[in-house]
């Protein structure tokens, strides 16, 4: 029997006017993507309204940034979202959360983010579970790489460990170990509900006095003499002491006109969700050789993702090849999968940088302009810590986590890339 679905409040629905945005023809390199004007209307508001901080983008990054700013008394804060909250990458992600990376920057930031996810669960009631990650390998080469990753994790204080078939049967009773060569388990990792996180953050932000301009598109960042003065939307000009761009794969649209290349490339990725089940497995499971992942959602559905060849900046389109490959890759671990009903399938963008690390911090040459983008598939899990890092940059001029300084945009120009080996999907 399907579980109960918790619906958001009527106020949230009215505020969001939830509708599917118009399909995009494609994302040309460096050009603004064509979007139909929203079919709903909002009050035009006051011309020349002023905010202390404008956050552009209503996904997990923008909401967590606004939340950290509001908690620290940043003044009048507004979130601008041209579609509906979570409409970009947030509502299209799997919800996995881990610190089991290979770069110190990722590990340090994600250890803090895991603490903050637990805090959001306690204080706001966000659905979050420390249910683990399980990396499965079917080759000797893969097992050796997992051992290498484990050594890096352990050296950085992460309790990952190799596990046997008996342990796997306990935490993942419906995973076949017939082709198993080795497995790595991360007990610190887990998952959160993207939908619940957005709703709970939105509700908290409203209580904190943060303003929302949903359905209002920021079309230009306005700068004068090397200093950002505000933004121009499709309805009015807005003055701001600081502007934070958290627009995910659409970051190029606002930065390229300023002569800034954020080095963020949108690449389509695909996911599907099945009917609901009882307990299949607790952790998010990864097929190490293919990078495919599977997680059981809080409602019991099985959510799967697997990589298919895609061109950068390609439009989001249905690819039947994805469904074929997803079933093929996961049938070796879940031989019962071909008999399962798939309910929904969707594409979404990974916003990829050359070193698979985000760009966080101020934009050189433009005072009061900050960006948080390029998470390469890890944006949701990093949301809470990125919110704190961005609030640090805006309010204090530097991040409280020293490793975050290595993720500013200038690293690409200086050749100081921070490489990551453990990229999924």
* pLDDT exceeds 60 at position 93: yes
Q: Work out the average pLDDT over 89-96.
A: 97
Tell me yes or no: is domain 46-128+189-264+353-425 CATH 3.30.465.10. Answer: no
Contact 411, 418 (CB under 8 A): yes
Using an 8 Å Cβ cutoff, are 228 and 371 in contact?
no
Label residue 296 by pLDDT band (50, 70, 90). Answer: very high
Q: If you average pLDDT over residues 276-294, what whole number do you get?
A: 97
* 326 pLDDT higher than 60: yes
Question: What are φ and ψ of residue 245, in 5° steps?
Answer: -95, 115
Q: 205-245: per-residue pLDDT in tens? A: 999 999 999 999 999 999 999 999 999 999 999 999 999 99
Q: Rounded distance, CA 279 to CA 272, Å?
A: 18
Residue with tokens 């799967």: 304
Closest CA to 200 of 391, 5, 12, 381: 12
pLDDT (average), residues 292-296: 98
Q: What kind of fold does domain 133-187+267-349 have according to CATH?
A: D-Amino Acid Oxidase; Chain A, domain 2 (3.30.9)
Q: Which long-range contacts (CB under 8 A, 24 or more apart) does 19-24 make?
A: 19/84, 21/83, 21/84, 21/87, 23/315, 23/316, 24/315, 24/316
**pLDDT value of position 424:** 79
Enumerate residues 6+ apart whose C-beta is below 8 A from 307.
269, 290, 291, 292, 425
Above 70 in pLDDT, residue 37?
Answer: no
Give yes or no for residue 390 having a pLDDT over 50: yes
List the domain boundaries for the chain.
46-128+189-264+353-425, 133-187+267-349
- What gap in Å lies between CA 258 and CA 252, rounded to an integer? 10
pLDDT greater than 60 at residue 90: yes
In this prediction, residues 349-368 reach a mean pLDDT of: 98
Which string of b and e fits 178-216 if b means at least 16 CB within 10 Å?
eebbbbbbbbbbbbbbbbbbbbbbbbbbeeeebbbbbbb
- pLDDT in the model for residue 425: 53
Mean pLDDT estimate for the chain: 90
pLDDT in tens, 174-190: 999 999 999 999 999 99
* Tens digits of residue pLDDT in 128-146: 999 999 999 999 999 999 9
pLDDT at residue 40 greater than cutoff 60? no
Confidence of residue 150 (pLDDT cuts 50, 70, 90): very high
- pLDDT band of residue 191 (cuts 50, 70, 90) is very high
- What tokens were used for 407? 């993720």
Q: Quick check: 6 pLDDT over 70? A: no
Does 5 have pLDDT greater than 60?
Answer: no
Instruction: Reply yes or no on whether the pLDDT at 27 is more than 60.
Output: no
Dihedral of CA atoms 255, 90, 343, 311 in degrees, nearest 10, equals: 30
Q: Average of pLDDT values for 14-34?
A: 36
| Across 257-271, average pLDDT | 97
Confidence of residue 47 (pLDDT cuts 50, 70, 90): low
């Amino acid at each position: 029997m399907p579980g109960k679905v918790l619906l958001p409040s009527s106020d949230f629905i009215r505020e969001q006017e939830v509708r599917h945005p118009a399909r995009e023809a494609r994302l040309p390199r460096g050009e603004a993507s064509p979007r139909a004007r929203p079919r709903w209307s909002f009050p035009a508001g006051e011309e020349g309204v002023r905010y202390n901080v404008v956050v552009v983008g209503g996904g997990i990054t923008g909401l967590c940034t606004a939340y950290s700013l509001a908690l620290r008394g940043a003044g009048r804060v507004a979130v601008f979202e041209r579609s509906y909250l979570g409409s970009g990458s947030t509502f299209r992600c799997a919800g996995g959360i881990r610190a089991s990376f290979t770069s110190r920057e990722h590990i340090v930031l994600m250890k803090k983010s895991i603490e903050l996810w637990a805090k959001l669960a306690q204080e706001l009631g966000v659905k979050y579970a420390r249910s683990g990650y399980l990396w499965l390998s079917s080759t000797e080469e893969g097992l050796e790489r997992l051992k290498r990753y484990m050594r890096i994790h352990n050296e950085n204080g992460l309790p990952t460990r190799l596990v046997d078939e008996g342990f796997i049967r306990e935490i993942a009773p419906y995973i076949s170990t017939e082709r198993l060569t080795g497995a790595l388990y991360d007990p610190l990792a887990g998952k959160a509900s993207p939908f619940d996180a957005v709703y709970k953050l939105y509700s908290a932000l409203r209580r904190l006095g943060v303003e929302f301009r949903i359905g209002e598109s920021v079309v230009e960042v306005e700068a004068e003499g090397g200093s950002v003065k505000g933004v121009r939307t499709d309805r009015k000009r807005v003055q701001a002491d600081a502007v934070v761009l958290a627009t995910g794969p659409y970051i190029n649209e606002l930065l390229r006109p300023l002569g800034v290349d954020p080095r963020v490339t949108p690449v389509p990725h695909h996911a599907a969700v099945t009917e609901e089940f009882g307990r299949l497995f607790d952790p998010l499971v990864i097929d190490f050789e293919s990078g495919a992942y599977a997680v059981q959602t809080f409602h019991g559905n099985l959510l799967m993702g697997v990589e298919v060849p895609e061109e950068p900046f390609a439009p989001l389109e249905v690819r039947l090849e994805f469904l074929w490959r997803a079933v093929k890759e996961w049938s070796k671990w879940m031989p019962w999968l071909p008999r399962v009903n798939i309910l929904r399938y969707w594409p979404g963008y990974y916003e990829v940088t050359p070193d698979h690390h985000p760009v966080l911090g101020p934009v050189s040459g433009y005072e009061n302009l900050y960006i948080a983008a390029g998470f390469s598939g890890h944006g949701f899990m990093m949301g809470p810590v990125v919110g704190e890092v961005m609030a640090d940059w805006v309010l204090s001029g530097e991040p409280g986590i020293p490793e975050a300084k290595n993720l500013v945009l200038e690293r690409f120009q200086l050749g100081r890339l921070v490489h990551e080996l453990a990229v999924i999907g």
